[in-house]
Amino acid sequence: MVVIGAGLAGLAVALHLADRMPVVVLAKRAADESATAWAQGGIVGVLGGDDSIESHVHDTQDAGAGLVDEHTARFIAEHSAAAVRWLVELGVPFSSDPSGPLGLHLTREGGHAVRRIAHAADATGRAIQDAALARARAHPNIRLLERWMAVDLVTSRHLRRDEPLRCYGVYALDIVHRRVETLPAAAVVLATGGVGKVYRYTSNPDTATGDGIAMAWRAGCRVGNMEFIQFHPTCLYHPQERSFLITEAMRGEGALLRLPSTGPGDPGGRRFMPEHDARAELAPRDIVARAIDFEMKRHGLDHVWLDATHLGEAFLKEHFPTIHARCLALGIDIARQPIPVVPAAHYTCGGVVTDLQGRSDLPGLFAVGETTYTGLHGANRLASNSLLECVVLGTSCAEAILALPAPAAPRLPPWDESQVEDADEQVVIAHNWDELRLLMWNYVGIVRTTKRLERALHRIKLLRDEIDEYYANFRVTRDLLELRNLVVCAELIVRSALRRHESRGLHYSRDFPEPLPVSFPTVLTRPARSRPARR
């Protein structure tokens, strides 16, 4: 078994498999550098007496703007309490409340009707990642390979056999030793996260380059809903901290969005969210991000303010110690002054099409977490559903793998470097990386037009051709592989956006400002190819 990715999704699969079979987990950087570790808010658990499965399903559907698969949402909600219990058993130090369900303190975030978010202060992801990683490192059946990056899946095409397409393993780059190894596997699990780094401004870590989505697409799998990229409303606006997220839980506890001074005679401080939605600061993320974007463009602002000063210093230090300390180190005392914030690319709501056991279109290939499209998030993800999806579907994916019959194990061809050489210049990669992320930010951001999308697609195709030529002639590096994957994902995002002739959830088009009466997921299918591009 090979699991690609060492965040919560990948570790959940590995830990549920390891008692029955050996598992190799690949992490392309250090194992703790995952999007999970960056998550601040928490994980949904339908635990309280004032909560219900129906309420959680309703909130998920409402946030997803009509594109949530009800069966998927119900499956996730029904298993949410078990997911939280599993994390408690794993040793995650959730914030406690003796009077709360399971002894946990539950908070509330935008789009939720009640308090149902289990959290570890404002660093839930780090607490979960540390606990899961410690358990994985201690398990004798889990082999964790850090600084190893998947290059491509090994399929029947590589064997040049006339047989139904199947995944047999993966080519993986040992980054430290600069060699590509062939890793055979009875099953491969993609748990590589999202594609936030395709945008210039993102709350995501450097690992979020869409590797799993791009590999699955190249192998012939369908992808769905790639146009729905969630922009988190509140990322810290500061030159030294371009990717520091200000958790939604802060608004859940009462922080308010305000306008800075918009000109002479205006001292700033006017609240604006009630003008955009009756739920004000507790509206779903797409509405809040679009409102901030509108106000910034309307007034020519670089940022808006998130004001939590009225919550008090003691409360802020207790509930948001990480944010308080980080901002204070940058000269911002959040107990006495508002926090400058801007929206930033945050979550990929689409991805590889899978079922509720993580099965993709390609036998032997599974996918879990942000890499996937399961129908849970629809046109917009409800806050704190992401970590929940990782645990619930990571568990069901492991169960499906354990039920598989032992497949044949053919001899896999080694990686071929006979026709390539070391690159003489790295500036091509750096330039194309910067150009891609800037054009995606400018043309395929929070508000879109058909003309911008068409311009973006034209330039992306040119970049893709340049990158493919570079890939065919030079030895692979992590930067080259990430750029190759990003340009594939960028094209999928734009092509999906061009197909959606309406505004819905995270996709807002000035050319089609109204939602259609009936809407469907956007699913792209790759034309079949007889041979791989390279091995």
What are the tens digits of pLDDT across the range 260-274?
A: 998 888 889 999 999
Pick the CATH number of 232-345 from 3.40.50.720, 3.40.1350.10, 3.40.50.300, 3.90.700.10: 3.90.700.10
Q: Is the pLDDT of residue 160 over 80?
A: no
- Pick from 257, 162, 115, 186: which is nearest to 405 by CA? 186
The mean pLDDT of the chain is 94
Percent of the chain with pLDDT over 90: 82
The pLDDT value given to residue 400: 98
Q: Are 532 and 215 in contact (CB under 8 A)?
A: no
Least confident of 179-188, 264-273, 418-427, 516-525: 418-427
Residues 6+ apart with CB under 8 A from 319: 107, 121, 122, 249, 253
The pLDDT value given to residue 241: 79
Residue-wise pLDDT tens digits, 165-214: 899 999 999 999 999 999 999 999 999 999 999 998 898 999 999 999 99
Q: Is the pLDDT of residue 534 over 70?
A: no
Q: How far apart (Å, rounded) are the C-alpha atoms in residues 243 and 245?
A: 6
Query: ∠ CA 342-348-352 to the nearest 5 degrees?
Result: 170
In the chain, CATH 3.50.50.60 sits at 2-227+349-402
- Pick from 477, 464, 479, 486: which is nearest to 533 by CA? 464
Instruction: Give me the sign of the Cα torsion angle 322, 328, 334, 336.
Output: positive
The pLDDT value given to residue 110: 82
For the segment 504-517, the average pLDDT, to the nearest whole number, is 96
Q: Are 350 and 344 in contact (CB under 8 A)?
A: no
Q: Are 282 and 254 in contact (CB under 8 A)?
A: no
Q: How far apart (Å, rounded) are the C-alpha atoms in residues 324 and 335?
A: 8
Residue-wise pLDDT tens digits, 316-350: 999 999 999 999 999 999 999 999 999 999 999 99
Q: φ and ψ at 303, to 5 degrees?
A: -165, 175
For the segment 396-413, the average pLDDT, to the nearest whole number, is 91
How far is Cα of residue 453 from the mean position of the Cα atoms in its chain?
22
Q: How far apart (Å, rounded) are the C-alpha atoms in residues 54 and 404?
A: 33
Percent of the chain with pLDDT over 70: 98
pLDDT band at 258 (very low <50, low <70, confident <90, very high): very high
pLDDT band at 477 (very low <50, low <70, confident <90, very high): very high
Task: Exactly one of 108, 126, 157, 285 is catalytic; name it.
Answer: 285
The pLDDT value given to residue 223: 98
pLDDT band at 277 (very low <50, low <70, confident <90, very high): very high
Residue 411 bears catalytic tag? no
Q: Which two tokens mark 340?
A: 């400058």
In the chain, CATH 1.20.58.100 sits at 417-513
Q: Are 46 and 77 in contact (CB under 8 A)?
A: yes
Helix ranges restricted to H, 139-210? 156-159
- Residue 271 CA: distances (Å) to CA of 50, 119, 250, 301, 336: 30, 28, 16, 15, 17
Single-letter amino acid, residue 124: T
Q: How far apart (Å, rounded) are the C-alpha atoms in residues 45 and 31?
A: 26
DSSP category for residue 66: T
The pLDDT value given to residue 533: 55
In the chain, CATH 3.90.700.10 sits at 232-345
The pLDDT value given to residue 420: 85
- Which of helix, strand or coil describes residue 406? coil
Instruction: Give me the sign of the Cα torsion angle 121, 124, 128, 130.
Output: negative
Of 150-159, 254-263, 386-395, 463-472, give the range with the top mean pLDDT: 386-395
Q: Is the pLDDT of residue 532 over 60?
A: no
Helix, strand and coil in the chain, % to nearest 5: 40, 20, 45
CATH superfamily of 2-227+349-402: FAD/NAD(P)-binding domain (3.50.50.60)
Instruction: Give me the sign of the Cα torsion angle 514, 515, 516, 517.
Output: negative
Single-letter amino acid, residue 493: I
Q: Which fold is adopted by the domain 417-513?
A: Methane Monooxygenase Hydroxylase; Chain G, domain 1 (1.20.58)
Instruction: Give me the sign of the Cα torsion angle 465, 468, 472, 476.
Output: positive
Place of tokens 């549920």: 16
**pTM (global) more than 0.85:** yes
The pLDDT value given to residue 529: 60
